[in-house]
Amino acid sequence: MKINKQKIIQLLKPKYGFTIFMLCLFISILSWFSLQLSKEYFISLRLKIEYSNIPDDVLIKKTSDSIFQVIVKIKGFNILSFNQLYNKKSLAIDINSLLKKGKSQVTYSSKTLLNFAKSQLNINTIESASADSINLYYCKKARKKVPIISLISFDTKKQYFNSDSIFFNPDSVWVYGTDEDVSKINYVTTSLVHFSGLDKPFMSQLPLKAQSTKNSTIQIFPAYTTAVIPIEKYTESTVECKIQSSNNPEFELKTFPNTVKITYFVGLSKYKSIADSSFKISVDLSKNITENRAPIVITQMPKYVKVIKITPEIIEFIKIKR
């Protein structure tokens, strides 16, 4: 074979030397990666434990093990596809047949769990587990019915207001948990939420929360409630009401004047249902301004009414012995 010395000299010139260097470097790196990826590696796979077929009257405690970690042998070429396929995989364990009356714990050996993992995930290269066993803690489920407390706030458009209190459907729910946790729960609350610019009856489904307890097992059923805010357009009206006499057995109270005017807002739908008998007015003697002058207080009124003014707010009175 005749060697063309001229071509060799041309290739060894600086113009081509860097290109040859980079080509050799690329081939070396590619060879190294191929060698490394052809080797076998041991990787850790975290499996989330999902307990299934739980009896209705049994509660799984939060202290139960929830992760089972296994060691899998795999070739480097398959690591990426393996992680994509098995990332966030879970291990289902049917516990119904294993629970024993009067007991509060079940222990699963790593051998049993490895068999579960191999059959459920179809992985034959699982080598070992990171723990000898896992523990499941359970107890009999207790329950109690509790009311719902509102954490809702809202505002309305001009000339609209809530014609009644917020109400819930349902207005009470069942809480489930251990005897200890359930005994600490006296109510559940809605989520903290604000609604703006309401101008008509408003409904919203809201999640419910229980009072927080450490390692709480509390479950709420149903977990949601529908909040109803009765919003409607209001009108202003005035009614004249007689001041009630004192019930004090020692004296009778005579007032000047003996009636006051109540100015209030009321929804249009309830306007015709308001009368002077809808209000009960008395003198607040505990807040005397002078010896014979005291403020007016409303002791009873419809809950769907908003009082904006009392005329007069302060009246004179005399006490007449009985």
| pLDDT tens column, 289-300 | 778 899 999 999
Question: What is the band of 87 on the pLDDT scale with cuts at 50, 70, 90?
Answer: low
Residue 122 CB neighbours (<10 A): 7
Q: What share of the chain is helix, strand, coil (3-state, %, to 5)?
A: 20, 50, 30
Quote the CA–CA distance of 133 and 136 in Å, as a whole number: 10
DSSP, residue by residue, 175-226: EEE-HHHHHT---EEE--EEEEEE-S-EEEEEEEEEPP-TT---EEESSEEE
| pLDDT tens column, 183-209 | 889 999 999 999 999 999 999 999 999
Q: By the 8 A CB rule, do 312 and 297 touch?
A: no
| pLDDT tens column, 89-112 | 778 888 776 777 667 788 878 787
Q: Cα dist. 90→32, 48, 121, 130, 248 in Å?
A: 35, 4, 9, 16, 74
Question: What is the band of 136 on the pLDDT scale with cuts at 50, 70, 90?
Answer: confident
Mean pLDDT of the chain: 81
pLDDT of 37 over the 60 cut: no
120-140 mean pLDDT:
76
Residue 119: both structure tokens together: 């059959």
Quote the CA–CA distance of 233 and 236 in Å, as a whole number: 10
**pTM of the predicted protein model:** 0.58
The three-point CA angle 183-187-188 to 5° equals 120
Quote the CA–CA distance of 175 and 190 in Å, as a whole number: 14
